[in-house]
């Protein structure tokens, strides 16, 4: 298979949680595609549904509260929402690798690194213990952990945060997956370590020809590491486009607000930063219509009906709320 | 102008106990010889990676951490060794805002009780006055008046930080130590809180020590920036200077690691491996030179690497591993002539 071919297609996905206030949709008809060998960024603020979307893809939702109500997740010809759990376990960790924000949640504190890493090979590949051990050392070398043979005998707590995340990356990549889902992989790390990890992931992605879904709240990380971007707000995709297009011509008011509100290295010191007033409504209070209008405390018809999701220019999609989508006039 | 806060050669070392008898076997040199000044109305940014000692330093200044050596002068008074009773009246002028307001606000107290506490402790105002002040504080930080009778958990992260700020400004302090106050907030909320801090500074003439790891935020809010590495300040200058002409290799590495929200910009990083070394057993010579694996590291062991004013208002550690040759020659010349000693 070659680059540019669609590897994963998420269509009309709805994921909901059972709560005291009834069934609440955390992800509300979300769709996007990931092409082989490309990096898709999903950006949005806490509670926008970006992590729930990712976890829905591999069906790792909190049980029993979370469930997929509707939609398809097509991965290499199969709908992951429909395949039996046993088959899914082979996909997870085999064809799809996962990296979480906090490496300690992915690592077992009472087992040595070597054992945990070998497990991936023993579970997904037909390898002997010795082969699995050697393959594990090789993986640690690949993620540039110094003296990997020695580290195999360490417990997770003996490693620094950056080293632990490298181990998690090694585990995620062990079986040469076609797709890696990384949920805020560097948020808990320092900038210098973040740069190392992201550069490493980018290099490995190229070498191994994987596709990557990178979930982050950091627009800088998106700009430097992604080919395509999905902007999520309040459980929905409000805009999606190739990365350069999105930063050059943001069409949705939320994307514009988000881009304007980050302090930049060249912004005037101590100047007033543009802000987005208010805050995201609680999930239980989401309106059926435009949720950014809801944040802006607007009244009227835009709150009642969900705006169409339109292709404003080739490859550039936006939720076309008559108030929040100010595209055409300003961007001829 | 006399500095409002003046820190001289401050050290905060924590003992490490171990062995059979739990004797003191080592020390974590979290802050190891830091000197800085903050002027009235000024914001000094303090940046560095986790474990560099920046939070420890902030807490030591308000005396929440024990001071091992050195001195802290606040508003002209030496507060290094004051007892907690003697310190109390000074706390009116010296406040702190924490990263996670959920942890620093008492969950069992209503917002009214939280905001009333500083007035009660310092015995100011009648009940009616305090009521009025609390309403004024809430309004000032942009929270509805009805918030007073609600509890911290009922608020979002950004709103809780506003409560934390309201508490800190209640007694009209002169200096607020802000320890990662916006790090846990979403981008759109972060800019709201940054703007609030800037407005309050202009209105009240506040000084801030703004501790954070996000260099873009620090640059935006600070007049001057100090860069800390492994318990020491390695560079200190006006924020524009730090960002446009950094001299120290660590500052350069830190700046080059920041991801910029501009996909057309070419990414050029200084290659940097490894993590911050342990402050229990720091390298004996140039700490950052050690991480870089600098070929001349050995020669820096035991060397005097104090801060030198390499250009007006621009201080940098006299570390040959971390300066370009031209800067190092200049710094060495200055140290020999003893023009720029101290700070």
User: Quick one: pLDDT at residue B268?
Assistant: 82
Instruction: Pick the residue from chain A with its C-alpha nearest to B269.
Output: A195
Among partner residues A199, A220, A269, which is closest to B219 by beta-carbon distance? Answer: A269
Distance CA A183, CA A168 (A): 12
A45 and chain B in contact, CB less than 8 A: yes
Q: What is the 3-state secondary structure (H, E, C) of A16-72?
A: EEEECCEEEEEEEEEEEEEECCCEEEEECCCCCCHHHHHHHHCCCCCCCCEEEEEEE
B73 and chain A in contact, CB less than 8 A: no
In chain A, the N- to C-terminal Cα span, in Å, equals: 38
Among partner residues B186, B259, B273, which is closest to A220 by beta-carbon distance? Answer: B259
Q: What is the pLDDT of residues A232-281, one digit of tens each?
A: 999 999 999 999 999 999 999 999 999 999 988 888 889 999 999 888 88
**B161 domain-assigned:** no
pLDDT interval class at B297 (50, 70, 90): very high
Tokens 């209503």 correspond to: B110
Q: What is the 3-state secondary structure (H, E, C) of chain B?
A: CCCCEEEEEEEEEEEEEECCCCEEEEEEEEEEEEEEEECCCCEEEEECCCCCCHHHHHHHHCCCCCCCEEEEEECCEECCCCCHHHHHHHHCCEEEECCCHHHHCCCCCCHHHHHHHHHHHCCCCCHHHHHHHHHHHHHHCCCCHHHHHCCHHHCCHHHHHHHHHHHHHCCCCCEEEEECCCCCCCHHHHHHHHHHHHHHHHHHCCEEEEECCCHHHHHHHCCEEEEEECCEEEEEEEHHHHHHCCCCHHHHHHHHHCCCCCCCCCCCCCCCCCCCCCCCCCCCCCHHHHHHCCCCHHHHCCCCCCEEEEECCEEEECCCCCCCHHHHHHHHHHHHHCCCCCC
Report CB contact under 8 Å: A258, B187.
yes
Instruction: Pick the residue from chain B with its C-alpha nearest to A259.
Output: B261
A115 and chain B in contact, CB less than 8 A: no
Distance CA A285, CA A21 (A): 10
Report CB contact under 8 Å: B191, A261.
yes
Report CB contact under 8 Å: B263, A224.
yes
CA distances from B306 to A279, A287, B334, B343 (A): 47, 60, 12, 9
Cis status of the peptide bond prior to A89, with omega within 30 of 0: no
B184 and chain A in contact, CB less than 8 A: no
Report CB contact under 8 Å: A224, B156.
no
Report CB contact under 8 Å: B49, A191.
yes
Instruction: Pick the residue from chain A with its C-alpha nearest to B50.
Output: A190
**B289 domain-assigned:** yes
Residues of chain B in contact with residue A259, where contact means CB-CB under 8 angstroms, are 261
DSSP H or E segment with residue B159: helix B157-169
Residues of chain A in contact with residue B256, where contact means CB-CB under 8 angstroms, are 195
CB A235 within 8 Å of CB A25: yes
B253 and chain A in contact, CB less than 8 A: yes
A263 and chain B in contact, CB less than 8 A: yes
Q: What is the pLDDT of residues B159-198, one digit of tens each?
A: 999 999 999 999 999 999 999 999 888 888 899 999 999 9
Mutate to test the interface with A, among B184, B188, B203, B216 (most CBs of A within 10 A): B188
A163 and chain B in contact, CB less than 8 A: yes
- C-alpha gyration radius of chain A: 21
Q: What is the mean pLDDT of each run of 10 residues along chain A (332 residues)?
A: 80 94 92 95 93 94 91 96 94 91 85 93 90 93 87 91 89 92 88 87 90 95 97 97 97 95 87 89 91 93 94 96 74 40
Residues of chain A in contact with residue B248, where contact means CB-CB under 8 angstroms, are none
Report CB contact under 8 Å: A190, B276.
yes
User: Quick one: pLDDT at residue B40?
Assistant: 97
B191 and chain A in contact, CB less than 8 A: yes
The per-residue DSSP string of A79-113 comes to ETTTS-HHHHHHHBTTTEEEE-SSHHHHS-TTS-H
User: Quick one: pLDDT at residue B340?
Assistant: 44
How many beta carbons lie within 10 A of that of residue A121, not counting itself?
Answer: 21
Among B13, B71, B65, residue whose Cα is nearest residue B37 = B71
pLDDT interval class at B199 (50, 70, 90): very high
Residues of chain A in contact with residue B273, where contact means CB-CB under 8 angstroms, are 144, 196
Report CB contact under 8 Å: B261, A191.
no
User: Quick one: pLDDT at residue A327?
Assistant: 58
Residues of chain B in contact with residue A247, where contact means CB-CB under 8 angstroms, are 261-264
A296 and chain B in contact, CB less than 8 A: no
Report CB contact under 8 Å: B258, A261.
no
Residues of chain A in contact with residue B241, where contact means CB-CB under 8 angstroms, are none
Residues of chain B in contact with residue A144, where contact means CB-CB under 8 angstroms, are 273
Q: Could you state, in order of their start, the residue ranges of all structural domains in chain A?
A: 248-332
B154 and chain A in contact, CB less than 8 A: no
**Beta-strand relationship, A96-99 and A78-79:** unpaired
**B118 domain-assigned:** no
How many beta carbons lie within 10 A of that of residue B112, not counting itself?
Answer: 17
A214 and chain B in contact, CB less than 8 A: no
Q: Which residues pair with B16 in a beta bridge?
A: B26
Distance CA B150, CA B113 (A): 10
Report CB contact under 8 Å: A244, B264.
yes
Residues of chain B in contact with residue A264, where contact means CB-CB under 8 angstroms, are 216, 260-261
Distance CA A209, CA A104 (A): 27
Q: What residue spans of chain A are helical by DSSP H? A: 50-57, 85-91, 103-106, 113-124, 129-142, 148-151, 161-173, 191-208, 219-225, 243-248, 253-261, 291-295, 327-330
Report CB contact under 8 Å: B261, A219.
yes
Residues 6+ apart with CB under 8 A from B83: none
CB B94 within 8 Å of CB B74: yes
A191 and chain B in contact, CB less than 8 A: yes
Residues of chain A in contact with residue B261, where contact means CB-CB under 8 angstroms, are 219-220, 222-223, 247, 259, 262, 264
More confident residue, B207 or A196: B207
- The CATH number of the domain holding residue B203 is 3.40.50.300
CA distances from A3 to A38, A149, A243, B293, B331 (A): 8, 35, 18, 39, 53
Distance CA B211, CA B44 (A): 8
Q: What is the pLDDT of residues B37-76, one digit of tens each?
A: 999 999 999 999 888 899 999 999 999 999 999 999 999 9
Most confident segment among A170-174, B71-75, B85-89, B97-101: B71-75
What tokens appear for B122 in the block? 């310092």
User: Quick one: pLDDT at residue B101?
Assistant: 75
Residues of chain A in contact with residue B269, where contact means CB-CB under 8 angstroms, are 195, 199
Average pLDDT, chain B: 91
Q: A–B: how many Cβ contacts below 8 A?
A: 129
Query: Is the reported ipTM for this assembly greater than 0.90?
Result: no
Residues of chain B in contact with residue A275, where contact means CB-CB under 8 angstroms, are 188, 191-192, 195
Domain count of the fold of chain B: 1
Report CB contact under 8 Å: A276, B188.
yes
pLDDT at B14 over 80: yes
Dihedral of CA atoms B55, B257, A103, A177 in degrees, nearest 10, equals 170
A160 and chain B in contact, CB less than 8 A: yes
Instruction: Pick the residue from chain B with its C-alpha nearest to A276.
Output: B188
Report CB contact under 8 Å: B190, A276.
no
User: Quick one: pLDDT at residue B341?
Assistant: 43
CB A229 within 8 Å of CB A243: yes
């Amino acid at each position: 298979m070659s680059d540019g071919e669609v590897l994963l297609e998420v269509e009309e996905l709805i994921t909901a949680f059972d709560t005291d206030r009834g069934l609440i949709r955390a992800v509300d008809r979300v769709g996007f595609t990931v092409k082989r060998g490309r990096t898709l960024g999903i950006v949005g603020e806490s509670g926008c549904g970006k992590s729930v979307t990712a976890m829905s893809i591999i069906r790792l939702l909190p049980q029993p509260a979370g469930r997929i109500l509707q939609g398809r997740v097509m991965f290499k010809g199969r709908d992951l929402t429909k395949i039996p759990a046993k088959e899914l376990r082979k996909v997870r960790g085999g064809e799809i690798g996962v990296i979480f924000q906090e490496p300690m949640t992915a690592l077992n504190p009472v087992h040595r690194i070597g054992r945990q890493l070998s497990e991936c090979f023993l579970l997904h590949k037909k390898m002997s213990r010795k082969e699995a051990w050697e393959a594990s050392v090789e993986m640690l070398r690949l993620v540039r952990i110094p003296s990997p043979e020695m580290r195999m005998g360490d417990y997770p707590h003996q490693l620094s945060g950056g080293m632990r995340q490298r181990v998690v990356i090694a585990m995620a990549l062990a079986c040469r997956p076609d797709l890696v889902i990384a949920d805020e992989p560097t948020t808990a790390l320092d900038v210098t370590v973040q740069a190392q990890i992201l550069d490493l992931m980018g290099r490995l992605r190229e070498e191994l020809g994987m596709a990557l879904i990178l979930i982050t709240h950091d627009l800088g990380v998106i700009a430097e590491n992604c080919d395509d971007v999905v902007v999520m707000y309040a459980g929905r995709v409000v805009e999606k486009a190739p990365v350069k297009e999105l930063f050059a011509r943001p069409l949705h008011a939320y994307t514009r607000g988000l881009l304007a509100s980050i302090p930049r290295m060249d912004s005037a010191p101590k100047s007033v930063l543009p802000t987005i007033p208010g805050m995201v409504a609680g999930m239980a209070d989401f309106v059926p219509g435009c949720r950014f209008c809801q944040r802006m405390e607007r009244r009227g018809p835009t709150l009642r009906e969900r705006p169409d999701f339109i292709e404003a220019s080739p490859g550039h999609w936006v939720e076309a709320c008559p108030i929040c989508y100010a595209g055409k006039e300003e961007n001829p | 102008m006399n500095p409002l806060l003046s820190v001289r050669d401050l050290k905060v070392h924590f003992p490490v106990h171990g062995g059979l008898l739990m004797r003191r076997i080592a020390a974590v040199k979290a802050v190891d010889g830091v000197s800085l000044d903050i002027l009235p109305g000024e914001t000094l940014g303090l940046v560095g990676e986790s474990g560099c000692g920046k939070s420890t330093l902030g807490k030591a200044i308000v005396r929440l951490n024990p001071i091992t050596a050195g001195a802290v002068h606040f508003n002209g008074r030496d507060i290094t060794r004051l007892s907690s009773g003697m310190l109390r009246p000074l706390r009116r002028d010296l406040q702190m805002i924490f990263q996670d307001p959920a942890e620093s606000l008492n969950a069992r107290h209503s917002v009214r009780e939280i905001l009333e506490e500083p007035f009660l402790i310092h015995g100011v105002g009648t009940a009616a006055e305090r009521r009025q002040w609390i309403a004024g504080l809430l309004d000032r930080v942009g929270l509805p008046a009805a918030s007073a009778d609600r509890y911290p958990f009922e608020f979002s992260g950004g709103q809780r930080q506003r409560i934390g700020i309201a508490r800190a400004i209640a007694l009209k302090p002169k200096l607020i130590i802000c320890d990662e106050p916006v790090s846990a907030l979403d981008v759109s909320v972060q800019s709201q809180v940054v703007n609030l801090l800037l407005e309050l500074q202009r209105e009240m003439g506040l000084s801030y020590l703004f501790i954070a790891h996000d260099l873009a935020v620090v640059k935006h809010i600070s007049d001057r920036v100090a860069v800390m590495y492994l318990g020491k300040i390695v560079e200190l200058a006006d924020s524009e200077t730090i960002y446009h002409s950094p001299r120290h290799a660590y500052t350069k590495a830190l700046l080059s690691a920041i991801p910029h929200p501009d996909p057309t910009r070419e990414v050029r990083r200084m290659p940097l491996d490894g993590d911050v070394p342990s402050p229990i057993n720091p390298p004996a010579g140039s700490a950052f030179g050690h991480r870089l694996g600098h070929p001349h590291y050995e020669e820096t062991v035991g060397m005097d690497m104090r801060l030198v004013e390499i250009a007006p208002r621009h201080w940098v550690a006299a570390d040959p591993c971390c300066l370009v040759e031209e800067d190092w020659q200049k710094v060495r010349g200055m140290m020999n002539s003893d023009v720029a000693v101290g700070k």
